[in-house]
Amino acid sequence: MKKVTSDPPACTGNVLAMRDTLDILGGKWKLIILHYLTYRDSEINTFKKIERDIEGISSKVLSKELKDLELNKLVIREVQNTKPVSVKYSISEYGKSTETLILQIVNWGKKHRIKMIKETL
């Protein structure tokens, strides 16, 4: 007889899936970058522009994060044909699939902050 009770202790499948997501979207900047690119999809987002707009990120970290995101097909990198070479980054169709997730994270954070404020009164 096979066990037909609940899933195994830690629900391995779900845990793996969480880890996958965390690996790809985790860290301090990835979600912020994706969110930024999603909402500025109509603009030309060059490396410099992103670096300027996302407060506190260094060029080293930005380039690394963008590379990771590009590897996972979340972001598209295009070299522009301009005099001082410039590079344009944009969100991919697939990258847009993260937006509901991101909004959820944003909303939870906002609600949490409100709750905390209320409780401190």
Partner DNA sequence: CAGCATCCCGTGGGATACTG
Partner DNA sequence: CAGTATCCCACGGGATGCTG
| 56 lies in the site for DNA, by CB under 7 A | yes
| 60 lies in the site for DNA, by CB under 7 A | yes
Q: What is the dihedral of CA 26, 18, 96, 57, to 10 degrees?
A: 0
Neighbours of 70 (CB within 10 A): 15
| 10 lies in the site for DNA, by CB under 7 A | no
Using CB under 7 A, pick the residue from 31, 38, 76, 86 that binds DNA: 86
Shortest reach from residue 4's CB to DNA, in Å: 28
Q: Give the C-alpha separation, 32 to 35, whole Å.
A: 5
| 91 lies in the site for DNA, by CB under 7 A | no
Tokens found for residue 7: 């899933």
| 29 lies in the site for DNA, by CB under 7 A | yes
